[in-house]
Structure 1
Amino acid sequence: MQVEIFTGPGCGYCERAKQLLAEHGIAYSERDISEPEVRTEFMERLPRERSIPQVFIDGTHIGGYEDLRIRLQGGGEAGGAI
């Protein structure tokens, strides 16, 4: 499983999302949108999203912190686990 999370400096929900992933032993790659090339990629991949964090699992966008939390608690699609 490949988890990718778009974050930004000073984002409390980003820190919570990373902590949640760590607590569940899930490795992830972090993409900081304060870097211009990452911000451009973020806007191209998610033109309607303006909030962070945004999480992708195996290339599929699942949403932000709350969506991740729900999935990890077993309330998401396909049985809830990621």
Structure 2
Amino acid sequence: MQSVEIYTSPLCGFCHAAKRLLNEKGVAYSEIDVLRNPDRKPEMIQRASGGRTVPQIFVGDIHVGGCDDLYALERAGKLDALLTE
């Protein structure tokens, strides 16, 4: 299983929705709260090619994008394959 990292903020509904999907699938992930750790936000922006909103989701070295992107992969039946590459 690929490592999953998700940059979040506790007040972000999209962050909660993305984590809910990952939890439902039984996927372990590392969560980086950029509100509590603002020094990590520049890292997120660089890794996400300029993406400043949360969540920013990474599966291995692949930048998935945000919550809508994660759910789009799930609807297309591609998320499981990405997680197990």
Give 5+ residue unaligned stretches, structure 1: none
**Greater per-residue helix proportion:** 2
Match of 1:52, SS state, is coil
Match of 2:67 in 1: 65
| 1:43 partnered with 2:14 | no
Q: Which amino acid letter does the alignment assign opposite residue 61 of structure 1?
A: H
Single out whichever of 38-47 and 51-60 deviates more from structure 2. 38-47
Deviation at residue 17 of structure 1 after TM alignment: 0.3
Q: Percent identity?
A: 41
Give 5+ residue unaligned stretches, structure 2: none
Deviation at residue 48 of structure 1 after TM alignment: 2.0
Q: Distance in 2 between matches of 1:70 and 1:43?
A: 22
Aligned residues: 78
Deviation at residue 40 of structure 1 after TM alignment: 2.2
Match of 1:42, SS state, is helix
TM-score, normalised to structure 2, is: 0.81
Q: Which has the higher contact order (CA 8 A, sep 6+)?
A: 2
TM-score, normalised to structure 1, is: 0.84
Match of 1:25, SS state, is coil
Match of 2:63, SS state, is strand
Q: Distance in 1 between matches of 2:16 and 2:73?
A: 17
Match of 2:28 in 1: 27
Q: Is the 8 A contact 2:48 2:65 kept in 1?
A: no
